[in-house]
Structure 1
């Protein structure tokens, strides 16, 4: 147990002084490997590799690439135009469009950060031009982008399924209803505030505009149907579906929209490779760190501590831990560590594995908009040219809205298990 405390102390100090997360995890793990007489430092490379040696995890870089290609081909602009025809005429139309587009784009990219960058680049300047405060524009963009990690095809759920042995198809199906509920709750909040503060109203779209916008967006909307439908109904594995997603996005850009040149393709591949290398390095380091926690029997100690805990007590505690950790660490890093750590206790308490994964996904996605980590909030603030502390007030209001839905999901399991049951 002393070595576990040493690991936790080292990673805390490293993060506090600004050392990157992956390097912090490696430093903590390597130190303990040197101190532990029963282990060898050569295990560092072996366990690092073992953490990444998974066929399912091949889907992660491919989904990231597919999202980048979709964004490059102009799918985001087409989805925004389509959303405008649906909700633009509501009071606070651009705010509603922001949330709806985030929900639609989540079904294309599977990444919250890609959602923030793609949607925010277009809508944050547009909202500011229409008279919305910079804080509101940034907060709505960041808060709605958490849907990218909840609505399928979610990269987080691919990783969670790989590390916990949970069906990825089940997680995808289980994330649909909570994702829609979060989007609906945020839109209700926006509607109430828009009326109270007299936010701008956009002109109602004509029937011709709707048909034109739908025609432009339909191919982009087809991507999640192909990807998610293929996985949920057993036609393709997550990795095979990710390959189809890349091919679909590439063919759209080259043959249909004809706006994806060779130079832009190379640039997208290069940017995606850099992003994937950072993500997978953190993932491998977290896998090593989690393996050491298992070596020191931390899951067994946790199981003893939680023995007899009813689900109504265990799940809220777990969700709270995830929210707190999410303010300091990346969601995928936390997932690799806490997913297997809490799994025995959850199974012993009778918690459905899909329900467990969905609660983790929502709680950790919320960490993307809470400082000091708050990656989605950071990206949105950079686009809106705003300091993070200036957007905290409005962001926390939307954080509270999402927390209400998380509470419902925790205490009402059928929200996450109904659709997977129907698919089965």
Structure 2
């Protein structure tokens, strides 16, 4: 256990001095491989490669590319117009639109950070022009973007399924109800606050405007139906569905909307490749780090600590750990490390693997809006041109709303398992 402690110290020091998380994990792993007499440094490359040697993981770069292409073709603006037609006339209409668009965009991109960047770039300035404070606009944008990691197709669930052996199709199915619950809870909070603070009201869309907005958004809304439906009902694997998503996005851009050019497509491919290379380096480093923790029998130690505890005691502790770790590390990196570590304890406690994955997904997504790491909050603050501390109070209010739904999901497993069982018969 001394070497495990050394790994933790190295990571802590590296993060404190600003070393990227992927490099920090690699440095900690390399140090142990040099010291440990039973291991060799040649295992570094082998284990790094084996962490990425998964057919399912091919879906990650393809889903990222599909989300970038969808955003480039103007899907975001069309979804915003559709959301305006649905909820724009509510008091605090732009705040409601922000949440609804995040819910719809989650079904297109599968990424919380893409949600924040795509939706925030349009709605944060728009909310500012309508008189909303920048802290409110930033908080709602960041907090609603966690839906990107929960509502299918979710990149997080693709990776979680690959590392824990859980069915990605069932994870996708299980994420539908929790995602809708979080969105509705956030809208209820916004509605209450809008009444108290007299937030502005937008004009109600007439029937013609609603029909036009729906027609503009229907092809974008068709993407998640094709992708998620194909996976859930067994017509396509996650990797095959991600290929369909890319082809669908290219088809919309070149032949339907005709706003995607060869030059711009090359730029999107280049940007996606850069993003994927950074992400996969982090995943490989995290896989190597997690393997070393397993080598030192940390899962057995966790199993001994939690042995005899029921699921309603184990899951809240795990969720709290995820939220705390999410304040310092990337959600997907944490998932790769701790997902397999806690799996034996969860099975021992009688936790359904799908329920385990959903709780992990929500808890780690919440870390995307908590400082100091809080990547979604950082992106939203950059768009809103304010410092993170200026948005903390409003963000934490939205955080607590999501936390209440997480607690409900933890203690009522049927919320997550209902649709997977219904689909699987």
Q: Give the structure-2-normalised TM-score.
A: 1.00
1:265 equivalent in structure 2: 265
Give the 5 Å matches for 1:273-312: 273-312=273-312
Whole-angstrom distance in 2 between the partners of 1:36 and 1:374: 34
Mapped partners of 2:152, 2:174: distance in 1? 9
Q: How far apart in 2 are the matches of 1:302 and 1:312?
A: 16
- Hey, what's the Cα distance between the residues in 2 that align with 1:349 and 1:121? 44
RMSD of the alignment, in Å? 0.3
1:263 CA displacement: 1.2
Q: Distance in 2 between matches of 1:149 and 1:263?
A: 30
Q: Deviations over 1:364-415 (max 9, x none)?
A: 0000000000000000000000100000010000000000000001000000
Q: In 1, Cα distance between the equivalents of 2:418 and 2:13?
A: 43
State how 1:342-421 maps to structure 2 within 5 Å. Answer: 342-421=342-421
- Residue 236 of structure 1 is matched in structure 2 by 236
Q: 1:228-264: per-residue Cα shift (whole Å, max 9, x none)?
A: 0000000000000000000000110000000001111
Displacement of 1:423 in angstroms is 0.5
In the comparison of the two structures, how many residue pairs are matched? 424
Q: Residue 236 of structure 2 aligns to a residue in which SS? A: coil
Structure 1-normalised TM-score?
Answer: 1.00
Whole-Å separation in 2 of the counterparts to 1:230 and 1:16: 44
CA distance in structure 1 between the aligned counterparts of 2:422 and 2:75, rounded to whole angstroms: 31
Matched, 1:125 2:125: yes
Which residue of structure 2 aligns with residue 41 of structure 1?
A: 41
Other-structure match for 2:181? 181
Query: 1:373 is paired with a residue of what secondary structure?
Result: coil
Counterpart Cα distance in 2 of 1:56 and 1:278 = 18
Unaligned runs of 5+ in 2: none
How far 1:189 moved relative to its partner?
0.3
Aligned to 1:139: 139
* 1:37-85 Cα distance to aligned partner (Å, 9 max, x none): 0000000000000000000000000000000000000000000000000
1:313-354 alpha-carbon deviations (Å, 9 max, x no partner): 000000000000000000110000000000000001110000
Provide the rounded CA distance (Å) in 2 between the counterparts of 1:41 and 1:224.
43
For structure 1, list consecutive stretches of 5 or more residues without a partner in the other structure: none
Secondary structure of 1:91's match? coil
**Counterpart secondary structure, 2:175:** helix
| CA deviation map 1:176-207 (0-9, x unaligned) | 00000000000000000000000000000000
CA distance in structure 1 between the partners assigned to 2:386 and 2:260 by the alignment: 32
**What SS does structure 2 have at the residue aligned with 1:40?**
coil
CA distance in 1, matches of 2:212, 2:159: 37
